[in-house]
Amino acid sequence: MVIPDTPPQHLDLTTVASDLAVRDLLTRTRDWLRAHALPDETCGTVELVLAEALNNIVEHAYPPDAPGAIRLALQHGPTHLVCILSDHGTALPGGVLPDGTLPDHDVARDALPEGGFGWFLIRDLTDRLDYRRDAGWSHLTLEFRLPAL
Amino acid sequence: MDLHATHHPDLTIITVAEARIDAAAAIRFKDAMRAATATGAGHVVLDLGNVTFVDSSGLGAIVAAMKQMGSERRLDLACLTPDVAKVFRLTRMESVFTIHDDLRRLHSRATG
């Protein structure tokens, strides 16, 4: 009997916050998702949401001259993919998840939004979100329902 | 950021030669677009056929690239790959740009 090579159910990555470190984490995550034979659309959704959450940590949790640790833990379950992003930088304002209202696009060209899409995309594309602060660390849990095989 | 501009009399096509317009590339993209659109036709088409990933920073940089061209000129998009098209669709920014499925029709129009 041939036992197929199955990729590990967990992926645990740690890095120091920077734009290029985000790219590296996303590339390694996408490779791992592909190894689990997830559809391209799901891989793209997860990559986009993690990019937005990671960019927020790089931009807002740590000062540019003192970047700190980011940990990304992924768990591939039977029905869901669970991602936990942790950092020990500044907490989210008020300790709560931002609303993520979509900026108005029906405006004059000069007034078109150049940002403010991140939390909208995170909220729109996840099936469950949770944020908690514990002992100086922020933990953001992002869950994605996986398409039935 | 590696951009290739092809100038036609009434149309400039700018092809992005890199795979990602993300937070790490957004400022370089905007600067390279400023340089690439400094001269040439009033109608510019940004060919995103090689781009597989755009995050909200990249989306913002594409909007900024259009705004910095000034109100007399026009920036269209072309050849969006699936993940990139999804970002434009979800944020409703697809309604802000004219989006071309391919460049063939534009080429034939540009060359007469």
A121:B87 CB<8 A: yes
Give me the residue label for tokens 């020990």: A88
B60:A109 CB<8 A: no
| pLDDT of A119 higher than 90 | yes
Q: Average pLDDT of A41-67?
A: 97
Q: How confident is the model at residue A4 (pLDDT cuts 50, 70, 90)?
A: low
Chain A CB within 8 Å of residue B32 CB:
no
Q: List, for residues B10-19, the tens digit of each pLDDT value.
A: 999 999 999 9
Q: Where are the domains of chain A?
A: 16-145
Question: Taking CA B84 as the corner, what is the angle to CA B81 and CA B85, rounded to the nearest 5 degrees?
Answer: 80
Angstrom CA distances, A59 to A32, A55, A71, B26, B71, stand at: 26, 6, 16, 13, 31
Q: List, for residues B83-112, the tens digit of each pLDDT value.
A: 999 999 999 999 999 999 998 877 776 665
Which residue among A23, A44, A114 places its CB closest to the CB of B60? A114
A124:B90 CB<8 A: yes
At the top level of CATH, which class does the domain A16-145 belong to?
alpha beta
Instruction: Please give the ipTM for the structure prediction.
Output: 0.93
| Residue A149, pLDDT score | 67
Bigger pLDDT: A89 vs A5: A89
Average pLDDT, chain B: 94
| pLDDT of A3 higher than 80 | no
